[in-house]
């Protein structure tokens, strides 16, 4: 990528991902266990949340450390064995919690960005 044009945009997008990536990964595991590279590709396909292995694997380690996911090894027909990550009850609860919080947060940001903040009309 060329440095210079996308710097500000990359910076904004980078900071945006903080804290959201965790729950998007949990959401991907909602209906089926997933393995690392699979999650990575799903995030890439989304465009706005594309990231790297150096981000995903430490994240998965944290999720496992906090008992939000459990892992099982599974053989692959084309390559080394894969570690599949599945939601625990705590993980599902955390995802539900986030699903409740997210709309309020999203709407708050939308309001700040789209609502004019008139200098007139204030009661002073």
CB 69 within 8 A of CB 88: yes
> Measured in whole angstroms, how far is the alpha carbon of residue 4 from the centre of its chain?
26
Pattern 36-55, DNA, x by CB under 7 A: xxx------------xxxxx
Instruction: Provide the token pair at 114.
Output: 């789209």
Residue 93 makes contact with a copy of itself by CB under 8 A: yes
Instruction: Sort strands 69-74 and 34-35 into parallel, antiparallel or unpaired.
Output: unpaired
Residue 18 makes contact with DNA by CB under 7 A: yes
Binding piece for DNA, criterion CB under 7 A, among 34-42, 94-102, 104-112, 116-124: 34-42
Of the residues 30, 58, 90, 96, which one makes contact with DNA according to CB under 7 A: 58
Residue 116 makes contact with a copy of itself by CB under 8 A: yes
Q: Kindly provide the b/e burial profile for residues 8-38, where b requires at least 16 CB atoms within 10 angstroms of the residue's own CB.
A: eeeeeeeeebeeebbbbbbebbeeebbbbee
Of the residues 28, 33, 68, 82, which one makes contact with DNA according to CB under 7 A: 82
Give the residue carrying structure tokens 């900071």. Answer: 15
Question: Among candidates 30, 51, 31, which has minimal Cα distance to 94?
Answer: 30
Residues contributing to the site for DNA (CB under 7 A): 11, 13-15, 17-22, 35-38, 51-55, 57-62, 71, 76-84
Residues contributing to the site for a copy of itself (CB under 8 A): 8-9, 12-20, 22-24, 27-28, 30-32, 46-49, 93-94, 97-102, 104-113, 116-119
């Amino acid at each position: 990528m060329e440095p210079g044009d996308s710097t500000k945009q990359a910076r904004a997008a980078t900071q945006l991902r903080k804290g959201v990536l965790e729950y998007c990964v949990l959401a991907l595991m909602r209906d089926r266990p997933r393995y690392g590279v699979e999650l990575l590709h799903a995030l890439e396909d989304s465009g706005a949340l594309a990231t790297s292995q150096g981000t995903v694997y430490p994240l998965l380690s944290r999720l496992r450390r906090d008992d939000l996911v459990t892992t099982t090894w599974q053989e692959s027909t084309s390559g080394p064995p894969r570690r599949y990550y599945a939601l625990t009850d705590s993980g599902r609860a955390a995802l539900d919690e986030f699903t409740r919080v997210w709309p309020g947060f999203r709407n708050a940001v939308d309001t700040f960005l789209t609502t004019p903040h008139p200098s007139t009309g204030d009661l002073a």
